[in-house]
Amino acid sequence: MPEQSKQALYSSSVPNTWRIEGRISATNNGETKIAGFELNRQGGYYRLTLTESSGFGQIQVRQTEQGLLVDDKLTELSLRKWMTSELGWYFPVNKLESIIFKHANVAMEDWQVEIDKYHIIKGIVYPKIIRLQRTHQAIKIKLLLQEINLK
């Protein structure tokens, strides 16, 4: 078999519909919280599901044409404002797809991005561990991507 057929490819475009699953560790002013997460993008909208590390509690936040739904209840807040008010931290969800699918590894919106490890899924190289750090606040986010599905 030629060596080229064994080489993995890097993605260069963002698919319209995708789903990622993993673990998130968020540190804000020295306090760390860990949760499971699932992030979907479909039809231009995001759906974020956070699950407590014990697995007993879960919250779903979904963007719709009507606005942001938190556990199917409409709120006036944006996703960023909801995360900040309810969780005490946020990460740039809308920029995450560029990091994952286009390998954008640059400072953005006052965030520094670092990718520690990669893994290969269906012949494509994707980040496995993404670290985000606010440049002017004590917020650090670590995402462990366990599964990436394109639809």
User: Residue 6 pLDDT more than 60?
Assistant: no
% of the chain surpassing 90 pLDDT = 48
The H or E element containing residue 87 is helix 79-87
- The domains of the chain, with CATH numbers, are 16-150 (2.50.20.10)
HSE of 125 in the Cβ direction (CA atoms, 13 Å)?
Answer: 11
User: Residue 5 pLDDT more than 80?
Assistant: no
Report pTM: 0.85
Residue 21: what residue type? E
Region of 113 (left: φ > 0; alpha: ψ -120 to 50; beta: rest) is: beta
Q: For residues 67, 70, 131 and 43, what is the CA-based torsion angle, rounded to 10 degrees?
A: -40
